[in-house]
Copies of this chain bind each other. A is one copy, B any other.
Amino acid sequence: MTDIDTSPIPERKRGSGVKMVYDLLRDEILDLVLPPGSPIDEVQLAERFKMSRTPIREALVRLAGEGLIDTLPNRSTMVANIDFLNMHTFFDALVLMYRVTTKLAAQYHRPEDLKVIRAHQAEFAAAVQAQDALAMIATNAAFHSAIAEAGRNAYFTGLFNRLLDEGRRMLRLYYQSYDDRLPQRFVEEHDDIIAVIANRDIEEADRLAKLHAEQIVHQIQKLFAREDRLDVAL
């Protein structure tokens, strides 16, 4: 008898498959590795991850639940499109969540929260320094998400994180070239926000968050307007 390789290699822990597929697909969607409209093929994914279609499908059901993919019955499933027509509803929600989460952070944060927030702010400042637009987007989102966590309201953090994800996707569309940069001013505004949170000044937290959010929305709109002009010109 020859030494047959009974290949116990595929040792992947039971239940870890769906999470792996979910996390990876989620990242690829948010990073636009899978741009909006990309078809998603179950069998292809099954081969890629060397597992059956069942766990793949579970991951897809979850992603569909978060609105990251669209599934037409009995037909193809694809990466969800970005709804540019109703962009203003996105901005409305984003500004409001910026405000309310910052206010709650001022009210309910604990000392250890500030450490986390400051760490994210340091990363954001570094990204601005390096003029790395993609890193700016990611670290800015992480910064505000950390503030929201300090506010300790799961309903708000849930919606807010979703909005930040959607924003990340929208901005990726425009920052592919790394040639633009958020102004230094945003770094200073972040520092001010940290200060009022630490101070537990709720009113001022709301005011600064509102200004900051509107700045960011304005920046995004400017960006889109510029691209629109380019599109028309072509």
Q: Is A58 an interface residue (CB 8 A)?
A: yes
- What is the distance, in angstroms, from A17's C-beta to the closest C-beta of chain B? 12
Contact B153 A74 (CB under 8 A): no
Cβ 8 A contact of A14, one of B74, B153, B156: B74
Contact B74 A154 (CB under 8 A): no
Given A15-B74, A65-B65, A73-B15, is A100 in contact with B96 using a C-beta cutoff of 8 Å? yes
Residues of B within 8 A of A26 (CB): none
Q: Is A49 an interface residue (CB 8 A)?
A: no
Segment touching B, from A2-10, A86-94, A189-197:
A86-94
- Could you show 27 A-B contacts with beta carbons less than 8 Å apart? A14-B74, A15-B73, A15-B74, A57-B58, A58-B58, A58-B61, A61-B61, A61-B62, A62-B65, A65-B65, A65-B66, A86-B152, A86-B154, A89-B152, A89-B154, A89-B155, A90-B155, A92-B104, A92-B156, A93-B153, A93-B155, A93-B156, A96-B96, A155-B159, A155-B162, A158-B159, A159-B159
Q: Is A220 an interface residue (CB 8 A)?
A: no
Within 8 A of B (CB), among A152-206: 152-156, 158-159, 162-163
Please give me the residue from chain B that is nearest to A93 by CB atom: B155
